[in-house]
Each structure stands twice: as C-alpha cells, then as structure tokens.
Amino acid sequence: MFPFWGNGSGAWLRRLINQLSNIYPEYTAGVVAPDARDLPKTKIYHLKPPKMGVFVGNPELPKDKKYSEFTEMELIELFNYYLLHTARAIEDFKPDVIHVFHTAFLPPIARNLANFYKIPFIITTHGSDLYYFKEDNRWSSLMTSASEKATFITANSDFTKDWYLRLFGQKLAKKTKVIPSGIDNNVDFDRDVSWIDKKYKFTKKHMVLFTGRLTEHKGVEYLIMAAEKIDAEIVIVGDGPERPYLEKLVKEHNLKNVHIVGYISSEKGTKIEDFYLRADVYVAPSVWKEPLGLVLLEAMVHKTPVIVTQGGGVKEIVENGVTGYLVYAKRADMIAKRVNMVLADDVKRKQMGENAYKRVLEKFSWDKIAGKFYNLYERSAQLQK
C-alpha cells in the first residue's frame, strides 16, 4: 500500500526481495503495489488505486491524505480494489505464501484470499503503521481476525511486538516473531563526497545529519533549535508537511549553518549514502517512540555515531555511550550538548563509529534477516499441507 521509494518500508521490501533472490535460487517474488516502477528479479503487479493514502506522510505523495481521514466509502472502495487485484495476481503468480507488509486493511484482504485459495499468509508490522490505530480503529476488529488466521506475524523489534500484542491479543504471542530490519554493508568508505561541501557552500569542518520524513513526529525542529549552539553544518535530508514550518524556523533564527535539502531518491542518481559518509554524527530527534529506526542502521553502517531520542525500539540498536547517545525528547539543549561532545573528540567519535558498524554487522546484516524470513516461508508452506 506504499511506493517502493520515499519510505523505510519500501526500502526494506526492495532489499529483502533482492537478498532472498541472491541467496535462494528457487525463490521468486511477485509484488502487488501502487508503484509504476519495476524491481529486479521480481514480477510486479502495478496498481492504480482509486485513491492513494499515507499513514504519516510520504515525499512522493505530498498531496495525499491520511488513511485515517478516508470516508467509509473510500475505504470500502480501496478494500475492494486491493481484494480484486490481489486475487488476479494470485491467479497468475500462484504463490506458495502471501506476505503482507503493514497492517490496516491489507491483512483482512489476505485473510479472505488465504481462505479462498488455501494459501498461508504472514503479516509484517514495522511499528509506524500501528500508530494508525490511535487515529482510526475502523480496521481493528478485522485486524484481530486476520492476525488470528495468519500463520506467523513478524515485528521489527520487541517494542513493536509488545505493542502489536496489546492491540490485537496476547494469544498471538506464540506465532509472533521479532525479525529486525536488515541493512546492506557494501559501503565504499573511500568514495569522494566532497561535492556536498561544494554544492552547499559549507564553511565548517563538521557535518550533522538528519534524514527522513519531515513530520511532526520526527521532532526536527529540536535539531534546528540546537543548531545555533553547534559549530557544524546541519543537513536535513527529506520532505513532508513540516517543511514550510522548519524553513520558517531557520529563517526566523537566521541560522546560516542549517541546510534543508529536500527529498533525495537514490534511484535518480544522487547517492544519499554520500551524506551518511560525509556526516560526523547523525541525529534522530523523534518526539514519538520509534519502533526501530532504519535510518539509524543506515547511519551506523557508514560508521557514523548516532544521537537519538530514547524510547521505543531504539535501545535495541543504540548502546548509550558506545555506538552513540540517547537523549530525552524535545530537549534541544541535550542534543547540542551530545553533538558537541562527539564533535570535540576525534578519537572517541571514530571509535563510536567503528562500534556502530560492528553492531550492525553482528545483528542486522541482510543475509541473516533474509534467512529468517525464508525459514518462515518454508514453515508456513509446510503447515498448509
């Protein structure tokens, strides 16, 4: 129910399919999604829903409203559209397993199709989708029923798993597995990224980075408020509904060291990885509890220390004082203090970066993650027989 680019879930899906295809020759994927682009080694069933929607926001869908704002008739039309077109894809592709990405209306669709076609299905939640049910509970009862029917449920962190079970029932615990997001580790650390300094006319030695959707939940305003106390270039990569407010904030405070560069899609040639390589520290100042934080893994695999708001699933990634620092939400002063601590000590910063890289390789490498999903696919198929 989302494009392949512009969101962490889309990136996660692309990487999972790619890794599974590389490791398991017998694996083939068919994807039903509202995206006109193709993916390597994948059969895409391109959808054009009657309406596009977002859970929180997507830079590729700047004018589309939230699913929570859809009328009952709009949701019914969307449900019927996905039901019909997914059924057509099943008729053509003949899958052994259906894998549902995200919650809301897709798991209820999978439940119906699994019943008709006698195909097992698993549900994956990334956590961010669960916030939807705080705003709109119209799918809650159908989600509970779908969860009970699913062969397995996967969550990206213990935090997300506990949240899912609170929403849809503790009796699901036995079949709910924690499988974190994976991350590619084929980083070219010798890559020349000097173009960033030239393009944005940097005058300072150090760079502080944020990447992600510019929504209220991400708390980027607190990084901007900290900027005047930080002797570094502050680069904000992303787009979203908060961008006009953030740009106004930068202008009002006359912050010459803050650069809001907009959404960068790697498919269009510009390497967002270059920003991670150039950065001395990454900041994620969220004001909500992040379920996991794929962008943190992106930063860490580039040997960049991270400073992140504590809470949610981030403690499963960030070890305070070792791979980065945890700070309290809405505390620009703490962000500034921790950033300056990292920037002031070259030896400590480098060691933190190495620690971050090592942790990612040990726990979040894609070969391990892909293997766990392949296991679930095989077990699901066997249980159906």
Residue 266: predicted pLDDT: 60
Residue 180 confidence (pLDDT): 87
User: Alpha-carbon distance 182 to 189, whole Å?
Assistant: 19
Cβ-Cβ contacts under 8 Å for 341 (sequence gap 6 or more): 325, 348
Sign of CA dihedral 218, 358, 162, 72: positive
Determine the CATH number of domain 194-363: 3.40.50.2000
Averaged pLDDT in 10-residue chunks for the chain of 385 residues: 84 90 92 93 95 85 90 96 98 97 93 96 91 91 96 93 95 95 85 94 96 90 96 94 94 96 69 93 88 83 94 82 94 96 96 94 87 95 79
The reported pTM is: 0.82
* Cα 67 to Cα 77: distance, rounded to the nearest angstrom: 13
Q: What is the pLDDT of residue 268?
A: 47
Which fold, 8-182+365-384?
Answer: Rossmann fold (3.40.50)
Q: What are phi and psi of 13, to 5 degrees?
A: -60, -45
Answer whether 307's CB lies under 8 Å from 318's CB. Answer: no
3-state secondary structure 121-168: EEEEECCHHHHHHHHCCCCHHHHHHHHHHCCEEEECCHHHHHHHHHHH
In the chain, residues under CATH classification 3.40.50.2000 are: 8-182+365-384, 194-363
Q: What is the 3-state secondary structure (H, E, C) of 232-277?
A: CEEEEECCCCCHHHHHHHHHHCCCCCEEEEECCCHHHCCCHHHHHH
Q: Residues near 91 by Cβ (< 8 Å), separated by ≥ 6?
A: none
Q: In the prediction, which pLDDT does 56 show?
A: 77
